[in-house]
Amino acid sequence: MEIGSGHHYVAQRIPDNSYAVVANQLAIQVIDFNDKKNFITSPDIQKFVYQNNLWPKNKPFNFRLIFGTHDDSDLTYNTPRVWSGQKLLTPSISQDPESFDLPFIRKPDHPISIQEAQRVLSDHFNGTKYDLTNSKNEGQPAYRPIAVATTQESHLLQLRDEDMVHWLAMGIAAQSVYIPFYPQGTKVPTIFKYGKEEFTTNSAYWVFKMASVLVDRNWGKYATDLVNTQKATNLALNKLRVEYDKKLAQEKENTKKIDLVNEANKKLANVATKNYQKLIAKLITAQTADSPLRFKIDPNL
């Protein structure tokens, strides 16, 4: 669903076999006003457009072209992110990161897993000449990646039959992990209750952010430690989630189910934050040797 001009809107159904990658720009394209199953629009949007000479009547009604932006900032801030997401999910199609014609709806080359959705939201043009973490890419176009340093948190809602998983990554998704929380819980894990603009030690956000800051001091040197922590944490989280899924499937009493959910969410939070606290300790210890004031005596003296 998108709003144009602050007064008119359109909504388009995304088919079950397709996906959409949307940046900070209007993305919906041609509207079929006769297809009530797949499109909903404000009642007088056509009248408004034609009365104000915003679009010719003899052309397909393209919402993106009528109400959207098409300027240089889009070419660095928006279209490259759409290109990157579509490149990951439909690699069989070659496209230009600065194209204004990237489609709103695209079919993936194969069914999308939750891990691939996480990969898209944590993307920073990995493996391309636009990756900001690779110093060799200096001089290449500076495109705004999907995973950017100002990200506060990233969410994925996964519907599974009658169940739902709330995958939550605090801080930069590329340097964090997605925790598979049970959204029906009634208690928020303590460390997720706190967080201020300034650094604090009792906040889940700042645990993951501190790890990011330490890795950023030398991505090439410390990224392996980060990746190893991410892999081990993801494995532990998924194992724990499967364990509690089985327990919940066997429990019939709703009150006890909620108790199990709250217990699971607490353990999931603890696994992720404690693993990252261990990573932080390792990085700080290793980086004590990186100080420019570290003086070595010449062995010949």
Q: What is the pLDDT of residue 76?
A: 93
Q: What is the pLDDT of residue 115?
A: 96
Q: What residues does each domain of the chain span?
A: 2-69, 151-290
How does strand 39-41 pair with strand 153-160? unpaired
Q: Could you report the per-residue pLDDT of 60-91, keeping only the tens digit for each?
A: 999 999 999 989 899 999 999 999 999 999 99
Q: What is the pLDDT of residue 11?
A: 98
Q: What is the pLDDT of residue 272?
A: 98
Q: What is the pLDDT of residue 298?
A: 74
Q: Mind listing the pLDDT tens digit of every residue in the chain (301 residues)?
A: 999 988 899 999 999 999 999 999 999 999 999 999 999 999 999 999 999 999 999 999 999 999 999 898 999 999 999 999 999 999 999 999 999 999 999 999 999 999 999 999 999 999 899 998 887 877 777 899 999 999 999 999 999 887 899 999 999 999 999 999 999 999 999 999 998 899 999 999 999 999 999 999 999 899 999 999 999 999 999 999 999 999 999 999 999 999 999 999 999 999 999 999 999 999 999 999 888 888 777 777 6
β-partners of residue 155 are 168
Burial per residue of 249-287, b for 16 or more beta-carbon CB atoms within 10 angstroms, e otherwise? eeeeeeeebbebbbebbbbbbebbbebbeebbebbeeee
Q: What is the pLDDT of residue 301?
A: 65
Q: Could you report the per-residue pLDDT of 147-172, keeping only the tens digit for each?
A: 999 999 999 999 988 789 999 999 99
Distance CA 179, CA 154 (A): 10
Q: Could you report the per-residue pLDDT of 179-201, keeping only the tens digit for each?
A: 999 999 999 999 999 988 999 99
Token look-up 């590329």 returns 174
